[in-house]
Structure 1
Amino acid sequence: MSKQSQTDLIKAGKGFIAALDQSGGSTPKALRLYGVEESAYTNEDEMFALIHDMRARIAQAPEFTGDKVVGAILFEKTMDGEINGKPSATYLWEERGVVPFLKVDKGLASEENGAQVMNPMPELDALLDKANEKGIFGTKMRSVIHAANPEGVKAVVGQQFDVAKQILAKGLMPIVEPEVTISIADKSEAEELLRDEILAQLDALPEDQNVMLKLTLPNMANLYQPLVDHPRVLRVVALSGGYSREQANDMLSQNAGIIASFSRALTEGLSAQQDDAAFNSVIAGTIDDIYAASVAG
């Protein structure tokens, strides 16, 4: 199927985007929550093999299809691997009808002005070329805002859009992800600064360039409506950011036009010790809950 059909599904499909892109830093925690202790592996390769098994198991669950899961964000090693004998991105699209994305950032720089921009990515062009060869539709990259500091917010958003243009030049759809830390006292103020800075960047984009946005669920419902409605935005998705699945779903359902892109909230309740029937039952319930919240807005 064509890139246009993938674009149409992401733009208008009912459902949400699954974030299956835990990196090296967050993988041990993700595995622990899945019931796999650090004693189960002795090096990074074994660790990534175990997390790949978890992701492959999720992707093969009966309910994990484009009917409710319109996209999935993959870690590079997941993209390089296989699911049920097929390259991961090919399997997701051809077998499940799920549009594949790739996490491309290389982690965060040290905090400055209450924010963390992304580390430099000198190999990005090569990674984007590989993503195109593997059938990836789009990318995701994460920065973090820790305070309502105008300089910090401007730096994060400016870098995100600079890199987004590099990604667009390779024919891929960038998901711009400037996360706002949910525990900060001035979260509402940071979110207003972020919205306005993103709007300024969107207004400056040429008419033939669109992006996606992945944002922390805002304190004020529908704060990001101007972004949802912007002609340069293909879709706005929300990260769970440390909220429980129940709270994240509740907040999501109050934000019109925004769908979920949850990571930890997606895998909550799953365990390596579950047999397939139990595992598939839990993931089915989770998918139904996140889907319902995504289409409620």
Structure 2
Amino acid sequence: MANLNNEQLDRMHSGKGFIAALDQSGGSTPKALSQYGVEESSYTNDEEMYTLVHEMRTRIIKSPAFDSQYILGAILFENTMDRKIDGEWTADYLWKKKNIVPFLKVDKGLADLANGVQLMKPISNLDELLTRAVERNIFGTKMRSVIKEANPEGIREVVEQQFEVGKQIFAKGLVPIIEPEVDIYSPDKEKSEQILKEEIQKQLNLLDKDVKVMLKLSIPTVNNFYSELISDPHVVRVVALSGGYSREEANDKLEHNHGLIASFSRALSEGLSAGQSDAYFDTTLSNTIKAIYKASIT
């Protein structure tokens, strides 16, 4: 067994709650800030932009609403991992002060569309990044690919790439979140999910006995479609992305999938704004978190 933190592993496997995705990066940072009420005129370079987004994430993480009673883990962007909250590395603050398990987004974005899918771009510095993640007490990682069409060859490539990188991550002592997102607007979403499930099961069957992974999937068209994956001994947890659904719609769909828990990003920060008083901000966040939690424990 890789050198995993067993307390964190138990929490992720059997704890009640969901994962907060705080990992918008690079290209999506201006959009995340803009939704939070911080316009592009507020910063002049990347460093200032990342400082502002860290302030936003710090405010969320430090909020009394961001509570381990509801939240099991949080996914961070590399820049957030390398910054501090109240003098502690972000991952240490999450675990020591909040009892929330820290994850790191490791992918470098998507390649161009081919065979109906977008593979991950090569992750050139992965080994060095994973070494740093281990030093920073990160528990697991996340990486995203996208499936646009029910193309068997493309979907197989996505899943093979995800598991190949996932095994490298596990060998470093981290639990990979494998995220082959199916585009919720895809006309053949249900067919894509059928192919995807088969390919994931093939890859799970090939893993060595001790290897642990997590899966992050779009909420399936057919309720409880991923139940076999949820009960697979290699799978620590299956989490769902909101994928562009409104928070209300995502929660509603999630409620109908037993054992599937949320890992929402945009749906989590919906309604939060830089100009809000702390009391209003905390209340808004608290209502959101409780609603996502309720949908996650069905």
Q: Give the structure 2 partner of residue 109 of structure 1.
A: 111
Q: CA deviation at 1:9?
A: 0.4
1:262 maps to amino acid = F
The 5 Å alignment of 1:1-297 reads 3-296=5-298
- CA shift, 1:213, in A, is 0.1
Question: How much has 1:122 moved relative to structure 2?
Answer: 2.1
Q: CA deviation at 1:86?
A: 1.1
Secondary structure at the aligned position of 1:284 is classed as: helix
Q: Distance in 2 between matches of 1:26 and 1:256?
A: 31
1:48-92 Cα offsets, whole Å, 9 max, x none, are 111111111000010212211000000000000011221100000
Supply the AA of the counterpart residue of 2:130.
Answer: L
Q: Distance in 2 between matches of 1:14 and 1:270?
A: 24
Partners of 1:9 and 1:71 lie apart in 2 by 9
Q: Distance in 1 between matches of 2:44 and 2:124?
A: 30
* CA deviation vs aligned residue, 1:170-212 (integer Å, no higher than 9, x gap): 0000000000111110011011111111011001111100100
Identity of aligned residues (%): 59
What CA distance in whole angstroms lies between the structure 2 residues aligned with 1:183 and 1:47? 31
State the number of aligned residues.
Answer: 295
Deviation at 1:239, TM superposition (A): 0.3
Given that residues 109 and 120 in structure 2 are in contact (C-alpha distance below 8 angstroms), is that contact kept between their aligned partners in structure 1?
A: yes
What is the alpha-carbon distance in structure 1 between the residues aligned to residue 234 and residue 100 of structure 2? Answer: 23
Amino acid at match of 2:203: Q
2: CA distance, partners of 1:83 / 1:194: 39
Give, as a single letter, the amino acid of the residue that structure 1 aligns with 2:137: G
TM-score by length of structure 1 reads: 0.98
CA distance in 2, matches of 1:287, 1:135: 25
Amino acid aligned to 2:175: M
- After TM superposition, which residue ranges in structure 1, 4 or more long, deviate above 6 angstroms? none
Aligned-partner SS, 2:72: strand
Measure, in 1, the Cα distance between the counterparts of 2:86 and 2:281.
17
1:245 maps to amino acid: R
How far the C-alpha of 1:121 sits from its partner, in A, is 1.1
CA-based RMSD of the aligned residues comes to 0.8
Structure 2 Cα separation of the partners of residues 153 and 82 of structure 1: 38
Q: Secondary structure of 2:285's match? A: helix
SS of residue in 1 equivalent to 2:185: coil
Structure 1: where are the runs of 5+ without partners? none
Q: Distance in 2 between matches of 1:127 and 1:141?
A: 13
Give the partner amino acid of 2:269: T
1:261 is paired with a residue whose SS is strand
Task: Name the SS of the counterpart of 2:297 in structure 1.
Answer: helix
CA distance in 2, matches of 1:64, 1:71: 11
Which secondary structure state, in structure 2, belongs to the residue aligned with residue 25 of structure 1? helix
Does the 8 Å contact 2:33/2:39 carry over to 1? Answer: yes
Contact 2:65–2:283 (8 Å) recurs in 1: no
Specify the SS of the correspondent of 1:18. strand
